[in-house]
């Protein structure tokens, strides 16, 4: 089964040049750690690599959705930022982080980083929309 290319949602080959350039066994510990320990370390890191890939694709999907929100706001002259929504999201994320045994302060920093980037995108969309409307 082929994967979808995130930028176009079109099928792509399961392997591409970027995948081939990555060596999942790369480590400065090779040769210094017990081979059984290295095998376990590489196994755990493989799971981390899969999670990282999922996070990247999930963030890409999230930003596609927030781009749509940005265009909707721009078309209706709504502000790029929604402080009430942001506050509610941070409170929700705190609860989720606690349930997941993740440091809520870390979760908040992460969400604030994402929110700041979304607002930056919304401001750019708003400016682009305003420039197009002025023509």
Are 117 and 110 in contact by the 8 Å Cβ rule? The answer is no
For 95-126, the pLDDT digits (tens) are 999 999 999 999 999 999 999 999 999 999 98
Residue-number span of the structural domain to which 66 is assigned = 3-133
Give the pLDDT score at 131.
84
Report the CATH number at residue 75. 1.20.59.10
Q: Looking at residues 51-64, what average pLDDT do you find?
A: 96
* Structural domain count of the chain: 1
Cα–Cα–Cα angle for 65, 66, 68, rounded to 5 degrees: 65
Q: Is residue 13 pLDDT above 90, yes or no?
A: no
For residue 106 the two structure tokens come to 């870390």
Q: Report residue 19's pLDDT band, with 50, 70 and 90 as the boundaries.
A: low
For residue 123 the two structure tokens come to 């401001």
Pick 39 or 12 by higher pLDDT: 39
Give the pLDDT score at 15.
54
Are 73 and 111 in contact by the 8 Å Cβ rule? The answer is no
Q: Looking at residues 11-33, what average pLDDT do you find?
A: 75
How far is C-alpha 46 from the chain's CA centre? 19
For 70-91, the pLDDT digits (tens) are 999 999 999 989 999 999 999 9
DSSP letter, residue 126: H
In residues, how long is the chain?
A: 135
């Amino acid at each position: 089964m082929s994967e979808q290319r995130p930028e176009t949602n079109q099928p792509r080959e399961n392997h591409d040049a970027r995948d081939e350039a990555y060596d999942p066994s790369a480590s400065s510990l090779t040769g210094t750690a017990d081979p059984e320990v290295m095998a376990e370390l590489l196994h755990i890191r493989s799971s981390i690599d899969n999670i990282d890939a999922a996070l990247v694709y999930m963030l890409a999907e999230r930003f596609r959705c927030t781009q749509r929100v940005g265009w909707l706001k721009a078309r209706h002259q709504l502000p790029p930022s929604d402080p009430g929504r942001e506050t509610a999201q941070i409170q929700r994320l705190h609860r989720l982080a606690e349930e997941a045994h993740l440091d809520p302060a870390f979760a908040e920093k992460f969400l604030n980083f994402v929110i700041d980037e979304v607002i930056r995108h919304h401001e750019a969309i708003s400016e682009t929309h305003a420039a197009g409307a002025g023509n």
